[in-house]
Amino acid sequence: MIRGTRNELLHSTITSRASVFGSFPDGTVRSFNSARCHRAHSEEKSRGLMLFGKLPRTGVVSGAMFNHEPVMLNEILEVFSGLSTGTFLDATLGGAGHASALLKAHPDIEFLGIDRDHEAVAFSKSKLSSLGERVTLRHARFDRVAEVLVQTGTHSLAGALFDLGVSSPQLDQEQRGFSYRLDAPLDMRMDQSQSMSALEVINDSSIEHLEKILRENADERFAGRIAKAIVRARPINTTVELAEVVIAAIPAAARRRGGHPAKRTFQAIRIEVNQELVILPNALTDVIKALSPGARLAVLSYHSGEDSIAKSVMRLAETGGCTCPTNLPCVCGRQALVRRVRTVKTPSVAEQTLNRRSTAARLRVVERLSTGWES
C-alpha cells in the first residue's frame, strides 16, 4: 500500500524517477540515475504523473505534431501508378504522407481516409484541406471499413492501402504512453476515446493472460518470467516503471542482445490494447470484396503477426478457398478473387539508413479479378 499525500507521492515519483534507456553490454540497466550513464537533464521539467485511478477517456491533443515520413513511398506510388479515377481508400491515414503523394500523382481520384486516432484525423484534415471535396476523412477503426463505405456512398474502390502498426508521432509524443524511452502514464491507446488502456491490461490481467499476450503478440522468450514480475510489482502506473520491471525480469546475459529488453513487452501490450491482430483479417477481407476489377490492395506490415495475417487473407482470396489438388482440375467451383502482384517487398537500404523504423516493413500487394465481382 502506497502511503502519503498525493503531492508527496508526485514529488517523490518525479525526483526519484529513473528514465530507462536500455542496458550496457554487461546487462547493467541504463538510467538517468545510473552512475555509468550520468548526464545533465536540467531540461527535465517537473510534471505530475497520474498515479491513481483511470486515464482520461476523451482527451484529444492537437494533431499539429502528427507529421511523419511515409514508409516505402516510392514503392507505393509505383504499385498504384495505374490509378486514373475512382475512390482510393487509406485505411490507416496517419499523417497523410502516402495520401498527399497519391493525390498529387493522380489528380482525378477521390480519397477516403480513415484512422482510429483523433489526432491523425485532425492533422490530415488540415493538411489536405486545400483539396476540398476530393477528400473525405472519418474517425474509425479499420474493421469498420464496410460501414464507412456505406455511410459515404462508396460503392467500390479504385485502390486501398493499409500501413499497419504504430506511427512515429504516437511513439514520440510522450503523453501517449507508447514508448519505453519516455516517462509517461501507461496508455498506448491509438483511439483515446476507447476505455481499455495499457494501465488496465498491466494491472488487471492474470499472470496467465499476460504470459499469453507476450507470447502471441511478441514471441517473448521470457514471457512467463515477465508476467510474474509484473504481477508482483503491481500497481504499475508509468512506462518507465514497466520497463524497469521487465528489464529486471530478464536474465542479464539476455539483455545484451536483441535491442532494448522491454521492446517486445511494449509491443505486445500495445497490440493487446488496440486489438491490432484481432481486427485485421475481417478488415482486409472487406476491402478485397470492395475493390473494383483491376484495383489493388497494398499492405505494409511491421510485425510477423501482421504479415502472417495479410499473407493468409491474400492467399485465401487468391485461391478462392479451393482445396483441390494442384495437379488436378478444380472441381469445387471456388473462384479466385485476386492475383498476387510481384513487387519490392522491403525498403531500400538507403531508406532503412535514413529511417531506421522502416527496417521491419514488408509490402504485400494483390489485384482484384473480375471473378466474383458484383457491381
pLDDT in tens, 333-373: 888 999 999 999 999 999 999 998 899 999 999 999 998 76
Which whole number is the average pLDDT over 228-249? Answer: 97
pLDDT score recorded for residue 101 = 97
User: For residues 210 and 216, what is the distance between their CA atoms, to the nearest angstrom?
Assistant: 10
Coil, strand or helix at 148:
helix
**Rounded to an integer, what distance in angstroms lies between the CA atom of residue 69 and that of residue 91?**
17
In this predicted structure, which of 45-49, 145-149, 243-247 has the lowest mean pLDDT? 45-49
Q: Which residues contact 135 (CB under 8 A, 6 or more apart)?
A: 99, 103, 110, 111, 113, 128
Instruction: Look at residue 67 in the predicted model and tell me its pLDDT.
Output: 63
| 66: pLDDT strictly greater than 60 | yes
In whole angstroms, give the CA distance from residue 246 to residue 242: 6
Q: What percent of the chain is predicted at pLDDT more than 70?
A: 81
> What is the spatial distance between Cα 320 and Cα 329, in angstroms, rounded to a whole number?
15
- Predicted confidence at residue 172, as pLDDT, reads 80
Listed range (73-82, 169-178, 187-196, 274-283) with the worst mean pLDDT: 169-178
* Dist. CA 133–CA 244, nearest whole Å: 49
Instruction: Tell me what pLDDT residue 65 has.
Output: 58
**Does residue 216 have a pLDDT over 50?**
yes
| Residue recorded with cell 524517477 | 17
Section 323-327 average pLDDT: 85
Distances (CA, A) of 373 to 13, 290, 291, 369: 60, 9, 9, 8
- As a whole number, the mean pLDDT across the chain is 84
Quote the pLDDT of residue 237.
97
List, for residues 109-144, the tens digit of each pLDDT value: 999 999 999 999 999 999 999 999 999 999 999 999
Cell numbers linked to 158: 479504385
Provide the sign of the torsion angle of the four alpha carbons 172, 178, 183, 187, taken in this order: positive
The answer to whether residue 12 scores a pLDDT higher than 90 is no
Mean pLDDT over 251-266 rounds to 90
User: Which range has the worst mean pLDDT, 144-153, 167-176, 267-276?
Assistant: 167-176
Beta-strand pair 29-30/338-340: unpaired
Helix (H, G, I), strand (E, B) or coil at 90: strand
The pLDDT score that the predictor gives to residue 39 is 31
CA 240 – CA 228 distance, rounded (Å): 18
Q: Name the nearest CA neighbour of 71 among 312, 301, 305.
A: 301
Looking at residue 6, what is its pLDDT? 33
pLDDT digits (tens, 9 = 90+) for 28-44: 334 333 333 333 333 33
Question: What integer pLDDT is reported at residue 171 of this predicted model?
Answer: 82
Cell numbers representing residue 317 in the block: 482470396
Residue 158 backbone phi and psi in degrees, to 5: -90, -10
* pLDDT at 21 exceeding the cut of 70: no
- Per-residue pLDDT at 325: 87
Domains and CATH numbers, the chain: 6-49+170-274 (1.10.150.170), 73-168+295-368 (3.40.50.150)
The full DSSP string for 213-263 is HHHHHH--TTHHHHHHHHHHH----BHHHHHHHHHHHS-HHHHTSSS-TTH
More confident residue, 375 or 57: 375
pTM of structure: 0.81
